[in-house]
Amino acid sequence: MISPTLSIPGNPPSDLWVADLDPGWLETLAQEHDRVAVLADEDVHRLHGSCLGSLQERATHLVPPGEACKSFDQLQAALEFCATNGLSRGSLLITLGGGATSDLGGLAAALFKRGLTVAHIPTTLVGQVDAAIGGKTAIDMRAGKNLVGAFHMPRAVFADVRLLRTLPPVELQAGLGEVVKCGLLGGKEAFAQLERDAADLVAGDPDALRRAVLLGAGLKVEIVKEDPREQGRRKLLNLGHTFAHAIETCAGHGTVPHGIAVAVGLQMALRASRAKKILTDQALPERLEKLLRALGLPSNLDDLQLQKTPTTGDLWRAMAHDKKGAVGKPEFILLKDLGAAEWGVPLDQALVGELWNL
Ligand SMILES: NC(=O)c1ccc[n+]([C@@H]2O[C@H](COP(=O)([O-])OP(=O)(O)OC[C@H]3O[C@@H](n4cnc5c(N)ncnc54)[C@H](O)[C@@H]3O)[C@@H](O)[C@H]2O)c1
């Protein structure tokens, strides 16, 4: 097996390959475990099951596409699958699919016999830059998304941008929203790279996508190494997310794809940073807007063309219940400059109201 692109030290280490996936690598990893099983998004398995090579013959559990798999019923079915196939703590579960699949498979792996090894083959841009990396796993409850979960670091993540060829355009766009967040947090060169690559990214150019995955995944690996349990710096990865979650809640979950809500949330976070006078580069919100437009992403609420535009009060109430902050006290991440941000900043409702109405 060639060396991983990036690693998070630990026992075992979490290794990330950003490369064309060679099924031989999976076989090598499989040989280190007593049994191997696969948990895959059923649609993705139909399209890309062959990337598993000989592991296609192993026990395979197919789950519904996307968010529908992040339920208690699906978690139970995944755990029953592990039991039926005699997996032990020395076994390996490989997930194939987007962030929803790696969230469910990662949680099942964390829980079954108190933890078996998991490896992810993310097939969405969100999965490759974010969801499959760093060990956060979760399912949803009626009360909200991602409320039940565990930290369980994957042994390996294989990010092959060729798998993104079949991604529906809206899923690619959602991934680009998260990539822009990484550009803002990554620093001047990271942001400039996205500005240069914007047209190629929209066209799905594999070289530009690989550079974007390296940028996003590299940032996440660096932050998770320092703060694996989100006690501090890892919170920065939620830049724009308090606004985005409020938009998603008010629009009705599933109406606005998360990464697209994040694009609008990023612009709001930058405007809030300027209004609070902590942003050093006053022109950054306009530069961000240009980049978002070049990537075909929205930058304000109007662009989302929601059936019913939420009021400031609706959005504020949704933010007050965001699980990242204390109840009733939403917290925000604000940008000081490209590559420099601070977390845990309170904002008042009046300012948030002004930002929505821009
Ligand atoms: N754990 C984390 O750190 C973390 C981070 C970000 C997001 N997430 C979670 O990830 C989930 C979103 O994941 P996502 O955006 O990757 O999408 P997803 O897993 O929800 O999949 C979206 C759709 O794309 C399809 N799809 C996936 N790969 C495809 C491919 N290559 N070709 C064609 N279709 C494909 C799926 O079948 C599905 O219909 C959310 O539940 C979110 O909470 C987790």
178's enclosing H/E stretch is helix 169-186
Q: pLDDT for 185-211, tens place per residue?
A: 999 999 999 999 999 999 999 999 999
- Bridge partners of 334, per DSSP, are 342
For the stretch 262-291, pLDDT in tens is: 999 999 999 999 999 999 999 999 999 999
CATH of span 169-356: 1.20.1090.10
Find the mean pLDDT for residues 11-38: 96
Ligand 1 centroid, distance to 161 Cα (angstroms): 14
Judge whether residue 106 has pLDDT over 60: yes
Reference 97, options 167, 173, 4, 27; nearest CA is 167
pLDDT computed for residue 64 by the predictor: 98
Catalytic residue flag (residue 336): no
146 has catalytic annotation: no
> How does residue 11 score in pLDDT terms, banded at 50, 70 and 90?
confident
**Alpha-carbon distance 63 to 133, whole Å?**
20
Least trusted range by pLDDT, from 85-89, 298-302, 309-313, 322-326: 322-326
Q: Which residue out of 120, 234, 235, 271 is catalytically annotated?
A: 234
Query: In percent, how much of the chain has pLDDT > 90?
Result: 84
**Does the beta carbon of 171 lie inside 6 Å of ligand 1?**
yes
pLDDT of residue 354: 82
Distance between first and last Cα of the chain: 52
Architecture of domain 6-166: 3-Layer(aba) Sandwich (3.40)
Q: Give nearest CA residue, ligand 1 atom 44.
A: 131
Please check the confidence at residue 311 and state whether its pLDDT lies above 90. Answer: no
Q: Is the CB of 105 under 6 A from ligand 1?
A: no
Question: At which residue do the structure tokens 């993540």 appear?
Answer: 157
Rounded to an integer, the average pLDDT of 62-85 is 98
| Calpha distance 243→324 (Å, rounded) | 12
pTM recorded for the entire structure:
0.96
Domain ranges of the chain: 6-166, 169-356
Nearest CA residue ID for atom 10, ligand 1? 99
Residue from 103, 163, 178, 239 whose mutation best tests the ligand 1 pocket (most atoms within 8 A of CB) = 103
Is 220 annotated in the active site? yes
Encode pLDDT of 135-157 as tens digits. 999 999 988 889 999 999 999 99
**Mean residue pLDDT across the chain:** 94
% pLDDT > 70, the chain: 97
pLDDT at 358: 57
Q: H or E segment at 199? A: helix 188-202
How far apart are the C-alpha atoms of 158 and 6, rounded to whole Å? 11
Q: Is 99 in the pocket of ligand 1 (CB under 6 A)?
A: yes
